[in-house]
Structures are given as C-alpha cells and as structure tokens.
Amino acid sequence: MFVVKISSGFGNQLFQYAFALFLKKEGCQDVRLDKSAFKYFTSNRTCGIDLISELPTVQDRRIFYRYRSLLFAIGKFFFQLNPFVKLVTEKTLKFPVKGRFVFFDGFWQTDQYIRQLGDWETCFQPKEATPAYILDLAASMENEHAISLHVRRGDYFSKEYINRYGVCDVVYYEKAIDILTEGLPDFKIFVFSDEPEWVKANLHLPVNHVFVENKNLHPYWHIWLMSRCRDHIISNSSFSWWGAYMGKHPEKRVVAPKVWLKGCKETIALPDWIKL
C-alpha cells in the first residue's frame, strides 16, 4: 500500500493529490490518501480534495504526526520498527519506491509530477456543478483582458509568521500591476484576497477592477475562476500558483515573487514566469 498524506490548505492538497496520481501512473499499486491530519493535527483547516479525488482513503494513520500524547509517541515508535513500513519525505524520495506499506509525508510543490500525468486536467474534474456566481464572473472575463490578482494576507502577516511568509508587500503588487497593464488599452483586474479591506486601503488599483467575493464556496471554484483570466499576479501561495498554472490562455503572463519564503532562495514559480 502506498499512502500519501493530505494536509494544509487546498493549494497544497492539490499538489499532494497530483503526487499520488503520479505514483499510481508510475505503477505503484493500491495508492491511497490519508486525511487524518484534519482531524487530529490541523482541525482549523478542512480537507477539500474529495471534490475531485477518485482515490480511496486509509484508516487512521495519525501515528505519523507529532502529537503531544505519549500514547501516540509509543505507537509511532513501534509502528516504524515494523520492517514492512517505510516513511518517505521529499528529502528521502528515491525511485523506484518499494515496500509493503509506504507513507509519503510532504508537500511535493513542483509541476514535474503534474506534467507527467499527461492530460492532468481530466484528473481534476469536480464532482459538482459550477456555482452560478462563478459562471457569471467567468462569462464576464471572456469579453475582457482579465488579470487575476491574488493578495494573500491572513496568518502570513501575523507576528508568528511574518518573518517567514511576509514576502509580497505593496511594492510587489503595484509593480506587478504596472508590468502587466503597461500599454494595454483595456483590461480589468479581478482581485482575490482573504483581506479585501486591506487591499482597498493599501493598494492603488486601476479604476477598472472588481473584487471577487469570498462566498461560502469550495476553494476549488476560486482557483478555477482565477484560471479563466488571461494574465495572473500571484502571491507566495500555492492557492494562486494553481490559478495561474491552470490558466489556458496561450499567451498568458504570470508575475510571481522571486523569493517564496524569506531566507530561502528557492521558488516554486515556473521558469517562464516573471519574477519580482
């Protein structure tokens, strides 16, 4: 059995799901998903992958998480002594992967696994109809030079995380807007943000813009809506990474931060994206 941990926000869940599909394509038998993190480790988040996933899930594998409970610590210790169990991380991944029970714990934030799925879009088809609100906005984008602008704030700029995630500031967003709108006679910016009031108070947006409401919809639909735009300005967030990546316009331009995390030179932005 090959089990891939699903955790974190929906953008990261998509990366993890794509990796699971890649394992299946590579010949791994009985690939399953582990969603127990949302019950035992990150109860403030929700698992949204069921909207598109066709893979089965496993029963509780919480022993792989860092719980404070001594009982879980003991269980994890003895479980990993089992010679048929293998824990694989992004640093230890090597192909071919062999084992009776292999547990993959990572984010797998790269398009190398997605590209090898072939027609990967068919693997990401939702099991519900597109909401009317999303359809209406998508229809309006068809008649515009639509640019998606994703401003991720939230916990990124909390005291706990600002020195790690606080990469995309006002200067970044306004420079990105200037680059993508220079010389365009007509365009409209569609703003996606978890803090729209901050955006309104701090960014100097062109007159022709619209804020996409944070309606109580599955996050897939906001990513899908981003992908309907022609050009994209993303934050250092896997959420808007997917919105840009899924964009189908043959001449799309994507502006992304060249530094994804403070203190780290690596970025998951693709080579042909404009990096600021």
Instruction: For residue range 92-109, list pLDDT tens digits in order.
Output: 999 888 888 899 999 999
CA atoms within 13 A of residue 229's CA, in its CB half-sphere: 30
Instruction: Report the C-alpha gap between 197 and 33 in whole angstroms.
Output: 37
- Compare 67 and 49 and report the one with higher pLDDT: 49
Instruction: Return the sign of the alpha-carbon dihedral for residues 202, 206, 208, 212.
Output: negative
- Which residues 6+ apart lie within 8 Å of 42 measured at CB? 7, 8
Between 67 and 241, the more confident residue is: 241
Report the C-alpha gap between 104 and 271 in whole angstroms.
27
Q: Which of 156-160, 173-177, 194-198, 214-218 has the lowest mean pLDDT?
A: 156-160
Pairwise CA distance, residues 236 & 223, whole Å: 15
Band the pLDDT of 68: cuts 50, 70, 90.
low
Residue 83 has pLDDT above 80, yes or no: no
Q: Is the confidence at residue 224, as pLDDT, over 90?
A: yes
Site of tokens 């990469």 = 167
